Amino acid sequence: VIALFHLLEPVTWTLGGIRVLNTLAGCGFALLGGYAFWPLWERFRFPDLMSEAVRGNREYLRVILQVLKEGTTRSFSYFIKPRRGAEVTNSNVFLYLKRMKSEPEHERANLEQYYIIVGCSIRITRLLNTINQQIRILPKSAPSFSADSYDRCVSAMLNRIEDTLSDRGPVAGETTVNVEDLIGEMQHALQADGMLSHPRDLPGYEVIFSLLGKISREVISMYYATLQLMAVPQAPPENK
């Protein structure tokens, strides 16, 4: 366009600047129009963001249990990466909820249920942080945990939560039975005799047992809250 103007008469940078401003203004109006007429509401992003938070907690728990199995202490830096991964993903999904509160009321359905699920995830991370602190003050020659059963059950429950979020609904037929079996096995795995002999001689380990029990209860609560949420019919996003 500027070249065509130049054929008529010499032009200066003023015309070029005006054209650039016009182009930027047009892009801005196009973006505003797109979001006004075809918005992608935050509730459609919840399953993906929540799944990332679940994966972050699962990885953090895996590292914690591996250290307990080895019966060794670790420095603060050893846990930084999994801890940061869990905390960042929790922060992302919590910020998502804050943005969702500013959307139209009809797009904020089940917001309270979202908060319940995210709250469970945040509490799991905080409990893992507490175990992290406890590990660093345990005796250097600590007996190892036999936590394979607990690890398998909790990981299976977290996998179920992620699958439920991805599929937007429970698996038909066998879900309830399998989950009840997992819950029973997880509670049995927390018995001290099955994980560590004579735990009462080591007060620090009784704290860890208590925290692991709280984590299992939070995982169970998160699963049933997710099941309840995803059972509610969700309208598909509007096509652009």
Q: Helix (H, G, I), strand (E, B), or coil: what is residue 173?
A: coil
Q: What is the pLDDT along the chain (240 residues), one digit of tens a residue?
A: 555 555 555 556 665 677 677 788 878 766 665 555 555 556 667 888 899 999 999 999 999 988 888 777 778 888 999 999 999 999 999 888 888 777 667 667 778 888 999 999 999 999 999 999 888 877 655 555 667 778 888 888 898 888 888 764 444 444 444 677 777 777 777 764 445 544 555 666 778 888 888 998 999 999 999 888 877 554 444 443
Q: What pLDDT sits at residue 197?
A: 47
Q: What is the pLDDT of residue 5?
A: 52
Q: Which residues are CB-contacts of 205 (< 8 A; sequence separation ≥ 6)?
A: 138, 142, 196, 199
C-alpha distances in Å from residue 9, one per residue of 4, 5, 14, 29, 167:
9, 6, 14, 31, 64
pLDDT score for 228: 85
The pLDDT of residue 56 is 94
What pLDDT was estimated at residue 90? 94
Where b means 16+ CB within 10 Å and e means fewer, 99-114 reads: ebeeeeeeebebeeeb
Q: Are 42 and 56 in contact (CB under 8 A)?
A: no
Two structure tokens written together for 94:
């919590």
**Residue pointed to by tokens 């054929």:** 7
Q: What is the pLDDT of residue 215?
A: 92
Distances (CA, A) of 163 to 55, 71, 160, 229, 237: 11, 32, 5, 13, 20
The alpha-carbon radius of gyration of the chain (Å, integer) is 26
163 CB burial (10 A radius; 0-12, 13-18, 19+): middle
The answer to whether the CB of 128 falls within 8 A of the CB of 57 is yes
